[in-house]
Amino acid sequence: MSTRGRGLHEHVLGTLGPAITAGEYPPGSVLRTDELAQRFEVSRSVMREAVRVLESMHLVESRRRVGVTVLPKVEWNVYDPQVIRWRLAGA
């Protein structure tokens, strides 16, 4: 079961991370975890874990009663290997 959960987590990260770094979600955009969980057809716990990873990269900030806010590029951890890969893969 842990492999399946890890696969879902990676799928969400592999889709949402590149979308954020490519600018599909501009800085200041508010994402709701409920809507994202429905969109990716995953549980809220999988979505929360993906958001935690994005927070560790400083791509987003999660706030209670607000949602997940996309941060400006100047705050991103540009030395994170995944952020580098996502930025290079984008336009």
Closest CA to 36 of 28, 44, 27: 44
Please give the Cα distance from 64 to 33 (Å, whole number): 11
Rounded to an integer, the average pLDDT of 61-73 is: 92
**What's the pLDDT tens digit per position in 40-60?**
999 999 999 999 999 999 999
Higher-confidence position of 58 and 66: 58
Q: Is the pLDDT of residue 72 over 90?
A: yes
pTM listed for this prediction? 0.86
CB atoms within 10 A of CB 31: 20
Are the CB atoms for 46 and 12 separated by under 8 Å?
A: yes
CATH 1.10.10.10 fits 2-89, yes or no: yes
Q: Is the pLDDT of residue 90 over 60?
A: yes
Q: Is the pLDDT of residue 14 over 70?
A: yes
Q: Which region, left, alpha or beta, applies to residue 30 given φ > 0 means left and ψ of -120 to 50 means alpha?
A: beta
